[in-house]
Structure 1
Amino acid sequence: MQVLPILIAVLVASGVGTLTGFGTSTLLVPVMVLFYPVPETLLFVGIIHWFGNVWKLVLFREGFRWGLVLSFGVPGLVATAIGAKLVFDIPSVILSRVLGGMIAAYVLYLFVQSSFRVRPTVVTGAVGGALSGFFAGIFGIGGAVRSLFLTAFDLPKAVYIATAGAIALVIDTTRLSVYASEGVRLPSSLLWGLIVFIPGSFAGAKIAQRLVDRIPQKNFRKVVAVFLLLIAVKLIVWP
């Protein structure tokens, strides 16, 4: 097992994932598949992702809002299942590039209309959650799509990160249960490595917390938007 490169990847991915609310899997999966088969990679990344969302809730617990999590998350979970049933006849390359174009257009709009904001109410939360879940189901990329819709609310930093973490935690718990029921297991070396990698994920999240504290609230959405744009470019150029 290559402990050091995996630990570095976990540290960076956890930091970026905490700061932006998405991106942990995008950064970590390409590293892990260099060393392990896809099923073991997905299980490992799912575990790190799960803990990463726990750290978001622990470190930004002052931003947790039950109303927003439920109004956004519950419709999103239902709509994800609906969207996922519509994709089997559409090539994944086309889906990735369409999503990349959508994200890029949204980010450019945010920079042109920096005052754009949707008031976070129960109704707008439910609509945003349903739309984000539906598109996440279609495109298969939940974190970036969810963040795209959450940024429309222009939430306080802690609220944005805690909300993203809470919703993703439910999704991660579900998918880890599926992996386990399908018999996917980590090799013993990687299992023992979690003793190092889980604290490493917390260290990355803690570093991200300090960075978030230094980012003015008025600039936070722009920082997230820059990372969204990077994801958009990746989806368009390397779907």
Structure 2
Amino acid sequence: MENFLGVPEVSLWLTIALVIGATITTFLGTVTGTAGGLLLLACMTFFFPLPVLIPMHTFIQLGAGTSRMFMMWRYVKKNLILPFAIGSVIGAFAGAQIFTTLPSEILQGILGVFILVVLYTPKLGAGGPERLRFGILGGVATFLGIFVSATGTFLSPFIAHASRDRHIHVSTMATLMAISHIAKLVAFGFVGMAIGAYLPLIVLMILGTVAGNWIGQRTLTRMPEKLFRRIFQVLLTLLALRLLVGAALDAGWLDGIV
């Protein structure tokens, strides 16, 4: 059945698959501390054109982050919210008006190297006053988020260094990314974009993320801290390497090799 619930070219079965995908990727994002949004974006690229995909994904991730924030509010590092929000507003509006020239493959390569350096150099990830550091990170992460989809991956190692346990990491990550998504939506005027026909699907997928958060939170509580940190480090390393390989492929540096 096409146009299920009035959503253009989306059948009942595709709707079910996307809702399940939102649930699973959100669960994985909760128990690993990163990557859930990227995994969902990768799934959605097969079914939606870019002008629809970007605002849809942003709204869904906003719903996922907000529900996780409310579920785990007692763990959130609340002192980081205001400086990060101020930085996000500046970064979003700067990105919407300024960024025009840097090739995407160069940006991906820089991100990949930077993530690895911060991940394996703890002093760099924890350098400077914490509130100032996250104010700057809010600007940089939101600025980058307008052009690449890896900003959660970019932010994760800094949150890992600032969090003494996995609950603080996951809840603070969700809160700060929700702020970043709101800033992007306002800066680009996505709220006014013509995605009204997709609203039923967006709502269902957000409900799927709520279920994923609920299951993930309970799994996280049972997970040993050392295991969480190890999974986080391995997964973030793989994501950073993926960025580097993608940048090399886009730049043509691996032509003739792969």
TM-score normalised by length of structure 2: 0.75
> In the alignment, which of 105, 126, 130 is matched to residue 124 of structure 1?
130
Q: Which residue of 2 aligns with 1:226?
A: 234
- Are the equivalent residues in 1 in contact too, given 2:68–2:210 (CA < 8 A)? no
Tell whether 2:55 aligns with 1:53. Answer: no
Q: Which residue of 1 aligns with 2:194?
A: 184
RMSD: 3.0
Unaligned runs of 5+ in 2: 1-9, 248-258
Tell me the SS of whatever aligns to 2:60.
helix
Q: Mapping of 1:67-106 within 5 angstroms? A: 67-79=79-91, 87-106=99-118
- Structure 1 pair 200–129 and aligned structure 2 pair: CA distance change class (3 A): same
- Are the equivalent residues in 1 in contact too, given 2:142–2:180 (CA < 8 A)? no
- Are the equivalent residues in 2 in contact too, given 1:132–1:145 (CA < 8 A)? no
Tell whether 2:136 aligns with 1:162. Answer: no
- Are the equivalent residues in 2 in contact too, given 1:40–1:186 (CA < 8 A)? no
Q: How many matched pairs?
A: 230
Q: Which residue of 2 aligns with 1:30?
A: 42
Instruction: Report the Cα offset of residue 130 of structure 1.
Output: 0.7
Instruction: Report the Cα offset of residue 96 of structure 1.
Output: 0.3
Q: Mapping of 1:136-175 within 5 angstroms? A: 137-138=143-144, 140=148, 141-175=150-184
Report sequence identity in percent.
Answer: 23
Give the counterpart letter for 1:170 in structure 2: I
> In the alignment, which of 216, 221, 228 is matched to residue 208 of structure 1?
216
The 10-residue stretch of structure 1 (64-73 or 75-84) with the greater mean CA deviation from structure 2: 75-84
